[in-house]
Amino acid sequence: MNEQIVNDVFSVYEVLKDSIKVTKRSINQEMQILHNRTLFLGEQKDIMLSRMTNVETELDDIMVLSLFASFERELRISLQAIINNNTNQINSTLIRLTSLTIDSIERWTVSDMINALEDIVLLETRSKTKQICEYRNWVAHGKNRNKLPSIQTDPKTVQVTLLDFMIQAKRAI
């Protein structure tokens, strides 16, 4: 599994977080010239800072979505590679079965894929990864306040957990 995929997404997050810090500083120091051609031009300081706080929360949730989506795609590709690389394609029937198996991985749930690696990835890591998936689904489906996820998380925790999963899973791949 290629952990760099998760690290690349997290790097984008770090740049965006730093941009928010710089913007907040410009607001706090009332550097109006920097706000030309932005939504902040002419806004009150407290309104701008409130918007920035909301943006930070939304950014964290969007980055959890992005980190997990990148992880999920890499997990599917890696599971397909396991099948492809470890199947002796001796005859046309085995070739067809291998192809069908690889194609079916696209329809597996995230839980199925995580469980497929239960002999390799520690239970704690698998559980945390499933909880992150639950949080990701909650964010992706509108943050229903009546159906809260079992955990709240942040991009750094997601990055660390997904990298841990990927490193452990490499033993199978």
Walk along the chain (173 residues) and give the pLDDT tens digit of each residue: 899 999 999 999 999 999 999 999 999 998 888 878 888 778 888 998 999 999 999 999 999 999 999 999 999 999 998 888 877 667 888 888 888 988 999 999 999 999 999 999 999 999 999 999 999 999 999 999 999 999 999 999 999 999 999 999 998 76
Please give the Cα distance from 166 to 54 (Å, whole number): 31
Position 53 scores a pLDDT of 93
What per-residue string of b and e applies to 119-135 under the rule 16 or more CB within 10 Å gives b? eebeeebbebbebbbbb
Position 159 scores a pLDDT of 97
Q: Cα-atom radius of gyration of the chain, to the nearest Å?
A: 21
DSSP three-state, residue 87: coil
Position 173 scores a pLDDT of 67
Burial class (CB in 10 A: 0-12, 13-18, 19+), 24: middle
